[in-house]
Structure 1
Amino acid sequence: MALATLGIVVPSVAAFYEFVLKGRKRLGYRIQMDTTTTNVAETDAELPGALLELQNHGVPLRHASLVLLRVENNGFTYIDTHDYVALDDDRVGIRFFFPNRKVVGTVITELSNDSLRANFRDLRTSFREETDRRPAGGVIELPKVPMNRNAHYKVLAALERVAGVTGEPAPPTLEGEIKDGRIQETQSRTNTPKRVITLVGFLVLLIVAQLVVFLRGNSGAPLDCTTGHLAVYGSTAFEPIVAEAAGAYRDLCPGASFAFTMEGSGEGVAALDDRVRAHDKGEFIAFSDGRKAAGMPGLTGRPISFFLFALVANPDAGVRDLTLSQVRDIYAGKVANWAAVGGNDLPIRLITRHRGSGTRAAFKERVLGTTAEAPPTVDVCPHDSGRQPFVCEVGDTGKLLTTVAGTSGALGYGEAGAAAATEGVRTVRIDDHPPTVEAADAHLYPFWETEYAYTGGEPAARSLSASFLRFLTTQTGADILRAHGLRPCAELADPARCQPA
C-alpha cells in the first residue's frame, strides 16, 4: 500500500513541477558556434583559405564570422504557430540580434523532421540602426515554426563586423516569447549533475518495484490496448497517415493487426456498407475525405481531423499563385495556356482524380463550386500530345503527384503534406494564401475537408475500432496528424468547422 501511494505521489510532484512551475511549452536555443574566420591555426589544408575568402556580392568580407544556432522544442507539449507571441499577420516568430554585425547570409543546415522544411520559405534578415539603448546590428527573423516535442532545426549564418567596431563581437541574443511557456538558452553538458543521477536512480528503483507489483497482480495488456484484427478502407490521401498511426499502435499493442485496402473515399465507404449489409462480424473502418454518400444508413461517422489539400503544378508552368476565378476558368477549359494567367507559354495539362475520390469531391465542393469540369480528353495519363493541352484521370494521390512532376505544364491537386514532400512539383497558392491550417481555419484558404472515420454503427467501447480511433485523435496518433500538417478537430480555433457527420 505504501509503495502504491509513493508511486502516485512522486510522479504527481514531478508533473506539478514540470507542467505548472516550469511551464509545459518551452522553446530552447543554443549557440553551438560563434567564431571569426580569422581565428584559425596555420595549416597546409585548402579549406581554411576558402573560409577566409567569404564574399558578399563579390566583395570580400574583411572581418567575417560564422554562427551556428540550434532551436528546439525542449518542453512537454506541441508548439503551434499561434503559440508565438506575435500579431496574426506577422510571419515572424522569433528574432536573433547580432550587435555590431551585419548578416550576410543564412541557411537552414539541419531539420529533425523533413516536414519542417516548408516553414522556411520566408526566412528573412534585416539590419537595425544604432539607438540610445542598443548598438546597431543584424537580425535573423525566423518564422513561426510548429514543432513537436524534441523537434529542432539549425541555422548557419555568415556575418560581417560593422565598420569602425573593434574587439570580439558580442554574442547573439534571442527576441521573442511563447504563450503559456518560455524561451530559454540551453547548454550542452558533458557531465550529468549528481543530483540528477540520484533522482534517476531513485525513479528507476521505484519503476522496477512498481513493475514487479504489476506483473504479480495483472498479466493483461496496457490501458486502452486492444488485440484483434482491423480492416481499413478508404482515402488514398489519408493512407500514409493512418498506416503510420497503425504502426505506432502495433508497437504499443503487439496483439493488434491491420489490413489496408485504400482505393479511394467513395470506394472505401461503399466497401464498408457492403460489409454491414452482409452482417459481417469483423471490425472495419473506412476513412473518407468528406461525408459519405446518401443511402448508407447503417454507417456511423465521426470527424477525425481538419484535412488540407493543395494545388500542385509542374515548375515549367511558371506560376506560384492563382486566383479562385483563374482556377475555375482553367478547370472549365476556358484557359488552356499558362501564359494567360501569368505563367510560361505552355499548354495546361490537367491531372485529376477518378470519380469516387474524396479528394476530387472536396476540390469540386470547396474550390470549383458550381463550375463544371472539362471532361477527360485522353485515356492514358501521362500522355504525349506535343504542344496540345489535355485532361486525364489517375487513381490515387501518389500517382497524381508523380504524374504532375513528370509532365511539363501539368496541374493537379492532392493532400498538402504529401505535395510538400514530393520533388518536382510546386505548391500553388490560392488568392495569395498558402495551404496552412491557420489560413483555412481563418476562412482564407478554401481547399480543405473534414476527414471522417466511418464504422458499422457505434463500435463497442472495448473494440479495436474504438481503441484505435481514440489513439488516433488523442494520443500518439494526434502527433502523427500534426506532423503531416493536419490538425485534430478539437484543436482548431473554430472546432465547429469540422462539421458532425
Structure 2
Amino acid sequence: MKKHSIGKLVIMLVLMLAFVTGCTNNGSKITIVGSSAMQLLAEQAGNDYRLSHQDSNIVVQGGGSGTGLSQVQAGAVQIGTSDVFAETQKGIDAKKLRDYKIAVVGIVPIVNKGVGVKNVSQKQLKQIFTGKLTNWKQLGGKNEAITVINRSKGSGTRSAFEDIILQGTKPVKSQEQDSNGAVKKIVNSTPGTISYLSFPYAHDTNIQKLSINGVKPTNKNITTNKWKIWCYEHMYTKGKPNKQTKAFINYMLGEKVQKDLVPKIGYLSINEMKVTRNSKNQVTQIGK
C-alpha cells in the first residue's frame, strides 16, 4: 500500500475514533443547573461519583432555583435543582417534572457582629424584612440603622425565607445579591446589615447568626420543625430521566451521600427528618 494511502487511512481512523468518543461523552453528560444553596452538595457528589464512574461527565452550575426549573422544563439540562416546589413557581408545569427530594437545608438570618443583637422573635424578624423596624436600638442593640440585604428574586432561598417568615407580606426595598458568598462578605464588612444564608455557608466564625424565639439554628432543631426556616433540596427531571441521570440521582439518595457527604457539608439527610412539609408550607409529623 502506498504511503499516502496509509496516511489517509490513519487520519480517517482517528476522526472516527474522535466522533465515537464525542458521542459517548455527550450521551453520558449530566448537566445540573439551579439552586446555589445546593451547588456545594451537587459539585462534591459529582466529583466523588466521577471517581467510580470514569465514563461520567457531570457539570454543575448555579443560577438560582428559578433558572434550574425553567431550564429542566425546557429540556436544556438533565437536572434542575431547586429550594422550592415546582408547583409554586409561575410558568412551571410541575406535572411534567419529576421531583426527587435529596436533602434538607436550613436558612439562618445573619447580622453584622457590631449590631449587638443575637436573638429576635419571628415577629421581629418579619418586621425587619418588611421595613417596620429600622434601628437596632428597637431590638435592644446598638443605635444604628438596619440595612437589609436580600437575595435576588430568582433565588429559592429567598422564596423559602419569605414564604415562612413574611407569609405574603411585601418585603422592604433593599439591595439584592445573587449568592450566599456575596451576602456573607457584605454582612461581615458592613455595619448594621442583616441578611440570611443557607446553613452550609454559615460556618464562618466571623458570622453572627441569630436565634429565633430563643431557638438556635441547628440541624437537630430542623428535624422536628423547632427551627422553622428550612426547605428541601430538590432535583427535578423532565419526565422519566435517562439511564445515566437516574443512576446519579440514585447515588445522591444512597448511603454514601446521605450518611457521609450530606452532614459533612452541613445539609441534613432526608432520612433524618421527623416531619414533612408540602408546597403550601403545611408541616406534618412523619408517621401520623
For residue 18 of structure 2, what is the aligned residue in structure 1? none
For residue 418 of structure 1, what is the aligned residue in structure 2? 201
| Residue from 286, 291, 300 that aligns with 2:85 | 291
- Asked if 1:357 corresponds to 2:140, the answer is no
1: CA distance, partners of 2:68 / 2:41: 16
The structure with the greater share of residues assigned to helix is 2
Instruction: List gaps (5 residues or longer) in structure 2.
Output: 1-26, 281-288
Secondary structure of the structure 1 residue equivalent to 2:168: coil
The structure with the greater share of residues assigned to strand is 1
TM-score between the two structures when normalised by the length of structure 2: 0.81
| Residue from 331, 348, 358 that aligns with 2:129 | 331
Q: Percent identity?
A: 24
| Residue from 233, 237, 241 that aligns with 1:459 | 241
- Asked if 1:307 corresponds to 2:101, the answer is no
| Residue from 444, 449, 474 that aligns with 2:226 | 444
For residue 474 of structure 1, what is the aligned residue in structure 2? 254
1: CA distance, partners of 2:226 / 2:219: 10
For residue 486 of structure 1, what is the aligned residue in structure 2? 267
- Asked if 1:318 corresponds to 2:100, the answer is no
Contact 1:489 / 1:498 at 8 angstroms: preserved in 2? no
Contact 1:312 / 1:414 at 8 angstroms: preserved in 2? yes
Secondary structure of the structure 2 residue equivalent to 1:311: strand
Alignment of 1:233-382 (within 5 A): 233-275=33-75, 284-292=78-86, 293-294=89-90, 295-296=92-93, 297-375=95-173
Secondary structure of the structure 2 residue equivalent to 1:402: helix
2: CA distance, partners of 1:264 / 1:484: 19
Length, aligned pairs only? 249
- Asked if 1:433 corresponds to 2:220, the answer is no
- Which has the bigger relative contact order, CA under 8 A and spacing at least 6? 2
Contact 2:97 / 2:239 at 8 angstroms: preserved in 1? yes
Q: CA deviation at 1:466?
A: 1.1
| Structure with bigger gyration radius | 1
CA offset digits 1:122-178 (Å, max 9, x no partner): xxxxxxxxxxxxxxxxxxxxxxxxxxxxxxxxxxxxxxxxxxxxxxxxxxxxxxxxx
TM-score between the two structures when normalised by the length of structure 1: 0.48
Instruction: List gaps (5 residues or longer) in structure 1.
Output: 1-226, 376-390
1: CA distance, partners of 2:126 / 2:277: 24
Secondary structure of the structure 2 residue equivalent to 1:452: strand
For residue 189 of structure 2, what is the aligned residue in structure 1? 406
2: CA distance, partners of 1:469 / 1:424: 35
Contact 1:305 / 1:498 at 8 angstroms: preserved in 2? no
CA offset digits 1:44-69 (Å, max 9, x no partner): xxxxxxxxxxxxxxxxxxxxxxxxxx
Instruction: Compute the RMSD of aligned alpha carbons.
Output: 1.9
Q: CA deviation at 1:442?
A: 2.0
